[in-house]
Structure 1
């Protein structure tokens, strides 16, 4: 099972097919994206600052406008509460709200620290996070590049294997982008971190 969360940002299509057992959450203005693309949500999570009014829909989780959670992270929490561990965040990048893009990248760390795996999708790019002993195997096309950033406090014990610029037991910090623009030299690249969080982005070049 997987949880697809569709926000109000730019939508570039579904990265993988939605299965019958998957959960689809429309986060506020993401409701319009769902309707425009023939996607039927399981749940609408909204404070209705992007929607003029509540639609005629039976499954709505109404949120207060003034709150600590963004609509996206509240949708993630709802997914966790329902047993989901794999999250695909769409409509979470682009547009004129870079602050929400950054917030959604932080949300990837929130997911990772709670034992889940999250992916945030843009236009030909996707991001994920690993934290505190986590590791991931990345696969991509021949011309793809990937970047690894420290997300928060120093990331210790960083290892990158099967890449043009490998690392072994390295430390990445939030104030220097050492891990930007790396290249696959094999089909699969392994990234691991002993302590701290890493934000990992893959860009598919044409």
Structure 2
């Protein structure tokens, strides 16, 4: 099972098909995308700053406009409450709101720290995060860009294996982009971190 959360940002298509066993949550303006895709979400989470009207729908979690949680991260919390651990965040990048893109990248760290795996999708690119002893194996690709960033406090014990530029027990900091623009070389790539959190970006184009 997986949880698809569709937000109000730029939508670049479904990365994988939505199965009957998957959960779909619309985050505010993501409701319109669900309608266009003929998807009926399990829940609409919204403060309705991206929708002109409140739709006639039985499963709405209405949020106050003034709040600490973004619509997206509250939708993630609802997904965790339903037992989900795999999250696909769509409509969470692009558009006019770079601040929301950054907030959704932070949301990936929230997912990782709570034992889940999250993916945030853009145009020909996707991001995920690993934290505190986490690791990820990325399938072999003949080409493409791999970037690894420190997300928060200094990341220690960073390992990258199988990419053009490997790292072993290295440190990454938030003020120097050492991990940007690595390359896939046809091998599977392993990324791991002993302490701290990493944001991992994969771009299909060189």
TM-score (normalizing by structure 1): 0.98
Query: Paired residue for 2:80?
Result: 80
Per-residue deviation at 1:140? 5.4
Which deviations, in whole Å up to 9, do the C-alpha atoms of 1:142-199 show, x marking residues without a partner?
2211100000000000000011100000000000000001111233100000000000
Which deviations, in whole Å up to 9, do the C-alpha atoms of 1:12-39 show, x marking residues without a partner?
1100111111100000000011112222
* Aligned CA-pair RMSD: 1.0
Q: Is contact 2:144–2:203 with CA below 8 Å preserved after alignment?
A: yes
Report the Cα distance in structure 2 between the residues aligned to 1:186 and 1:144, rounded to whole angstroms: 10
Query: Paired residue for 1:14?
Result: 14
Q: What SS does structure 2 have at the residue aligned with 1:109?
A: helix
Which deviations, in whole Å up to 9, do the C-alpha atoms of 1:37-91 show, x marking residues without a partner?
2222111000111112211111111111110000000000000011000000000
Q: Is contact 2:141–2:186 with CA below 8 Å preserved after alignment?
A: no
Report the Cα distance in structure 1 between the residues aligned to 2:43 and 2:151, rounded to whole angstroms: 30
Report the Cα distance in structure 1 between the residues aligned to 2:104 and 2:140, rounded to whole angstroms: 22
Aligned pair count reads 206
Unmatched runs of 5 consecutive residues or more in structure 2: none
Report the Cα distance in structure 2 between the residues aligned to 1:139 and 1:71, rounded to whole angstroms: 31
Report the Cα distance in structure 2 between the residues aligned to 1:33 and 1:186, rounded to whole angstroms: 35
Q: Which runs of 4+ in 1 moved over 4 A?
A: none
Report the Cα distance in structure 2 between the residues aligned to 1:25 and 1:191, rounded to whole angstroms: 30
Query: Paired residue for 1:170?
Result: 170
TM-score (normalizing by structure 2): 0.98
Unmatched runs of 5 consecutive residues or more in structure 1: none
Q: What SS does structure 2 have at the residue aligned with 1:44?
A: strand
* Map 1:25-64 → 2, pairs under 5 A: 25-64=25-64
Structure 1 position 109 matched with structure 2 position 109: yes
